[in-house]
Amino acid sequence: MFNKILIANRGEIAVRIIRACRELGIKTVAIYSEIDSNSLHVLLADEAYPLDSNPKTAYLDVKEILRIAERAQVDAIHPGYGFLSQNPKFAELVEKEGFTFIGPRAENIKLAGDKVFARKVAEKAGLKIIPGSHGALRSLKAAIKVSEKVGYPVIIKAALGGGGLGMRIVWNDEELTRVFNIAREEAKRGFGVGKIYIEKYLPNSRHIEFQIVADNYGNIIHLGERECSIQRRYQKLIEESPSVVVDEETRSRIGELAVRFAERTGYTNVGTVEFLYNDGEFFFIEMNTRLQVEHGVTEMVTGLDLVKMQIQIAGDKPLDIDQRDVSLRGWAMEVRINAEDPLQDFAPSPGKITDYREPGGPGVRVDSGVYEGFEVSDLYNPLIAKLIVWGRDRSEVISRLKRSLKEYVISEIKTTIPLYLKIVEDPDFISGNITTEYLIRKMPLFKESIEEEALNIAAAIAIAVTETKLPITPMPIAAEKSSGRKTLKKVPSGFSPWYLMKWLKRVR
């Protein structure tokens, strides 16, 4: 086993890896950009080294990271997710410099991470693929021919990378002509290669993925499915395991296909085979050659630690379980706590966290990279924490998630918590009636409800402040604003309802 591991990442995933290493008795090395000098992962690691690079690109500076790895005399490097985690050149250089890359081999990332190649392998392995192009598209003429053959609407995708970059839904030849070169340029800027392909767009689908684990000795297992259908702009927001549409027979059948795909690519370490579920059928879409953000829900229902398994496999240990040992117990859900304002089209909400309190209690886990007083930057991914809950069944999970969201306090930045509080009370969500279009349909109603609730709270606080006999000047009440059903009085912008309520409790 390794003595010391460098974590080539930041935030909550770096903290997650540090904790797994500590339980394995492995020392950790953190790296950090100038603006991350007081980050939680820096404070928790055994050693921490600054990155002498532009903060925006610091975690992509391969030469600097390898220089620190040599200076710190580490045995291995864990990339986490995002940044360099799916960069085959980085994986190659890590191994070339004498360190172990904790993840799939470089050739795995290169081959399975190429979605055009992966589609071909999946089809040969017996998985259904979505109708579309059989290779990368080299011209607009070829794209139009494929689109007319499979039928509009279609979706343009970058062959490499992920996160929704370069993805565009197209409804006719005119739209395709307009965005074809734009999509290629987006792919090139984002992933270094302007390689794109086309698939038939399947509306009202469910996004379901299977977690696989493979050692260096040909042993491959799957850990069941995760449903990730609630998304905005192809970015997942809520994940759960299991899925309401997957029974034991289906789980076994699709899980075996996922394992077969991994076998065909010679895959090692952890990865995720992703599907769209549409009209009762599973269609392969891609493989993610890294640890997923949502790995925690799988850990909660299987009792397995995926980060530890990653490290052990990288250390050349064979799997100590087989498929018969894997079972899903209960239900788990995860919501991504992003520093974004859902009322402003999810605009980033950087700033200082002036108050922070995490929920707790039975079945509640928080993977966080922040604390009270932490300054959230807009240079990086807005994910600041993940709230993961477990219950005996889906009903208990939703009740526990609702309770935990109400306990969670993060001020003064905006977060996605108010949106999740609306989702967990929505009848369609409660019944499991969700698709990848769920948030597109529901967001206008959620937004209206959040805005009205904020006005009600603000009005009540303003009235309480003006009526409280205190030796200070009370705040003025702003002009009246109509909500459509009733007239409410609004507190001037800049005042936090949370702080006002806390202040009122203290003075009373």
DSSP characters over 325-358 = G----SEEEEEEEESEEGGGTTEE--EE--EEE-
Average pLDDT of the segment spanning 58-80: 97
Q: What is the CATH number of the domain that holds 50?
A: 3.40.50.20
Tens digit of pLDDT for each residue in 216-254? 999 999 999 999 999 998 899 999 999 999 999 999 999
119 noted as active-site residue: no
Total tally of structural domains belonging to the chain: 4
Strands 355-357, 351-352: parallel, antiparallel or unpaired by DSSP?
A: unpaired
Judged against a pLDDT cut of 60, whether residue 369 lies above it is answered with yes
Q: Are residues 467 and 420 in the same domain?
A: no
Strand (E) or helix (H) holding 506? helix 497-507
Judged against a pLDDT cut of 60, whether residue 161 lies above it is answered with yes
Range picked from 162-176, 186-200, 379-393 for highest mean pLDDT: 379-393
Tens digit of pLDDT for each residue in 456-491? 777 776 776 666 655 444 444 433 444 444 443 333
Average pLDDT of the segment spanning 305-325: 97
The pTM (predicted TM-score) of the whole model is 0.89
Q: Give the pLDDT confidence score for residue 476 in this predicted structure.
A: 42
Token pair for residue 178?
A: 């307009």
Q: 206, 290, 365, 394: which is the annotated catalytic residue? A: 290
Q: Give the pLDDT confidence score for residue 502 in this predicted structure.
A: 54
Q: Are residues 76 and 214 in the same domain?
A: no
Q: Are residues 274 and 407 in the same domain?
A: yes
Q: Give the pLDDT confidence score for residue 330 in this predicted structure.
A: 98
Q: Give the pLDDT confidence score for residue 439 in this predicted structure.
A: 96
- Say if 108 falls within a structural domain: no
Q: Are residues 143 and 62 in the same domain?
A: no
Q: Which residues pair with 340 in a beta bridge?
A: 348
d(CA 262, CA 266): 6
Q: Are residues 162 and 301 in the same domain?
A: no
- Say if 300 falls within a structural domain: yes
Least confident of 187-191, 204-208, 282-286, 495-499: 495-499
Strand (E) or helix (H) holding 396? helix 394-407
Q: Give the pLDDT confidence score for residue 422 in this predicted structure.
A: 97
Q: Are residues 416 and 274 in the same domain?
A: yes
d(CA 398, CA 240): 11
Tens digit of pLDDT for each residue in 96-117? 999 999 999 999 999 888 899 9
The 3 state secondary structure assigned to 161-178 is CCCCCCCEEECCHHHHHH
Q: Are residues 16 and 60 in the same domain?
A: yes
Phi-psi region of 117 (alpha: psi -120 to 50; beta: other; left: phi over 0): alpha
Q: Which residue has the tokens 């989702």?
A: 423
Tens digit of pLDDT for each residue in 403-433? 999 999 999 899 999 999 999 999 999 999 9
CA dihedral 267, 268, 269, 275 (to 10 degrees): 10
Dihedral sign (CA 101, 107, 108, 113): positive
Q: What is the CATH number of the domain that holds 278?
A: 3.30.470.20
What integer best gives the mean pLDDT of the chain? 90
Q: Are residues 422 and 438 in the same domain?
A: yes
Q: Are residues 13 and 97 in the same domain?
A: yes
Q: Are residues 331 and 384 in the same domain?
A: yes
Q: Give the pLDDT confidence score for residue 468 in this predicted structure.
A: 61
Judged against a pLDDT cut of 50, whether residue 61 lies above it is answered with yes
Residues whose CB falls within 8 Å of the CB of residue 159, separated by 6 or more in sequence, listed in order = 114, 115, 116, 136, 187, 193, 195, 196, 197
205, amino acid identity = S
Average pLDDT of the segment spanning 283-302: 96
Q: Are residues 436 and 470 in the same domain?
A: no
- Say if 120 falls within a structural domain: no
Query: 192 is in which domain, residue-wise?
Result: 131-200
Q: Are residues 494 and 421 in the same domain?
A: no
- Say if 303 falls within a structural domain: yes
